[in-house]
Amino acid sequence: MANRVIPAASKLLKTLRPLNSASSTTISGVSPIAFPEKAQAQARPNLVDDIEPQDALFNLDDENNRLFASVSTVKLLRAAANLHMVAMEPMVDVGMWMMRSRLMATPGVKDVILGFIRSTFYEHFCAGEDTEATGRSVRALNEDGLRGMLVYALEYASDNVSCDRNLQGFLDTVESTKSLPRSSVSFIILKITAICPMKLLQRVSDLLRWQQKDPSFNLPWKHETLPIFSESSPLYHTMEKPEPLTPEEERDLELIHQRLQRLSEKCLEANVPLSVDAEYTSIQPAIDYLTYSSAIVHNKDDKPIVYGTIQAYLKDAKERLLLASKAADKMGVPMGFKVVRGAYMSSESKIASSLGCASPIHNSIEETHACYNECASYMLERIGNGSGAVVLATHNVESGKLAVKKANEIGISKVHQKLEFAQLYGMAEALSFGLKNAGFQVSKYMPFGPIELVMPYLLRRAEENRGLLSASTLDRHLTREELKRRLKAAIF
């Protein structure tokens, strides 16, 4: 349902409040992972009814078109139903229970469940079950002026066999982009856990943290990389000096470097950048280490191929961004970053609390908004000075407007290869088309793969992103109003 909205989403966005702070009074979230904002959504139940008009920072004066003009009523009804269902938190719990229950082992029942999911949530939030179907979704997006970030929904490999199998899936995904319209795919998205077992990531992260505590601690296997920690980075995951990697673990780690090298080289060949997602802080040091090591090798000639991810809900986010980007400059490495808010708030806080440590997450949503906007501003200034590249992944309308204003102030060309905005496929359509209408490059984060493979992945994302799903007020309002308009037109 790639063309579920057309560029005329402008009319409602135009009425959003002026931007005068880092906090959000409108829709909040992030792509691909988001900071829960349930309390804010409850505080503004009449979000659309009580907003005041203002001069839009986006150019959204397209009065001749109507919202959803290219979307059939059947598809619009389906979209409205899906958005309202996922906004109800119990739906996530029911979905998780069903996918983990014995019902999925009962052939007839399993077919019914998957059939319902395929025709509702899957069709709305996923690009397709294979590269051919995904290609059709990408082409449809491209016709509407948007681009696709392809997310082969794999994670949590357990051994080298599954890692190699998953790698081949990612390589095939990159290869498939060669048959699609030029520039219609903006990024390939990778979770390192799909090509590296979690246990090894934890071991490497422990060793990197201990070296941060004790710089004399030798790591003979360590490749050249960028700064991974700042002075304020939490190190509580590693309380005791870890044992060195065994010879077998060192061999497995070298295999990870080789897998990432193959994928990076394939992306370079296809001229499609690779963006490595952030995950839990317990394994993030290893993820950053692997990402930056690959970037140093493959990011050349002012052309970032490998992008890292900064989670702005972490207290040390901006410091780490500054350290890594400045170190990359000194090395002559053009470094790209995707800036997100973050999704693992509940689990991160619980782990820190169980260890008697302060949470690594900002103390308030306002602080997270401020950190996100500061990181975005910093990266835009770097682009304006001819350095670096950024993907601003957000569903937060205010953050989008602040970024547009900043880009205009420093004279960044709107269609700039170093600046991309991004939102989840099937969500934040008004923001996506508003930014696109303003002349900026906009991508949609598009998970794809066989439904049995993708649904556990999506349910985990939904469980992490409860606040984002329940805060999709603008999307739900737009579909509801368009259905009302069509009903009135049919009657009168």
Among candidates 347, 196, 371, which has minimal Cα distance to 285? Answer: 196
End-to-end CA distance of the chain: 29
Nearest Cα neighbor of 206 from 279, 278, 284 is 284
pLDDT at 465: 57
The least confident of 65-79, 102-116, 211-225, 416-430 is: 65-79
What is the percent of the chain where pLDDT is above 70?
Answer: 81
Which pLDDT score is estimated for 439?
87
The whole-number pLDDT of residue 427 equals: 83
pLDDT score of 45 more than 60: no
| Most confident stretch, 144-158, 282-296, 401-415, 444-458 | 282-296
Residues present in the chain in total? 492
Q: Does pLDDT of 54 surpass 70? A: no
- What's the pLDDT score for residue 263? 98
Distance of CA 254 to the CA centre of its chain: 27
- 200 close to 282: Cβ distance less than 8 angstroms: no
Per DSSP, the three-state class of 443 is strand
Q: Which pLDDT score is estimated for 469?
A: 56
pLDDT at site 119: 78
- Out of 5-14, 257-266, 423-432, 436-445, which region has the weakest mean confidence (pLDDT)? 5-14
| Residue 1 confidence class, pLDDT cut points 50, 70, 90 | very low
**Model confidence at 434, in pLDDT bands (50, 70, 90)?**
confident
Q: Say what the pLDDT of residue 432 is.
A: 86
Locus of tokens 């016709």: 143
Q: Measured between alpha carbons, how far is residue 164 from residues 196, 202, 248, 375 in Å?
A: 9, 19, 17, 35
At 53 the pLDDT is: 32
Contacts of 223 (CB under 8 A, 6+ apart): 257, 289, 293
> Within 13 Å and on the Cβ side, how many CA atoms surround 288?
25
Q: Residue 367, class by beta-carbon neighbours within 10 Å (0-12 exposed, 13-18 middle, 19+ buried)?
A: middle
Least confident range of 58-72, 89-103, 136-150, 235-249: 58-72
Residues 168-201 have pLDDT tens digits of: 999 999 999 999 998 999 999 999 999 999 999 9
Looking at residue 452, its pLDDT comes to 80
Q: What is the pLDDT of residue 474?
A: 72
Q: Are 448 and 126 in contact (CB under 8 A)?
A: yes
**Neighbouring residues of 182: CB distance < 8 A, sequence distance ≥ 6:** none
Predicted local distance difference test score (pLDDT) of residue 79: 75
Task: Pick the most confident of 36-40, 64-68, 211-215.
Answer: 211-215
Each residue's pLDDT tens digit, 135-159 = 999 999 998 889 999 999 887 899 9
Q: What is the pLDDT of residues 456-476, one digit of tens each?
A: 777 766 665 555 555 467 777
Question: What is the residue-wise DSSP string for 320-361?
Answer: HHHHHHHHHHHHT---EEEEE--S-HHHHHHHHHHTT---SB
Name which of 199-203, 271-275, 410-414 the model is least confident about: 410-414
483: pLDDT confidence band, cut at 50, 70 and 90? confident
Report pLDDT for 488. Answer: 83
Question: Residue 72: what pLDDT?
Answer: 72
Q: How far is CA 303 from the centre of its chain?
A: 21
3-state class of 478 per DSSP? helix
Across the chain, mean pLDDT equals: 82
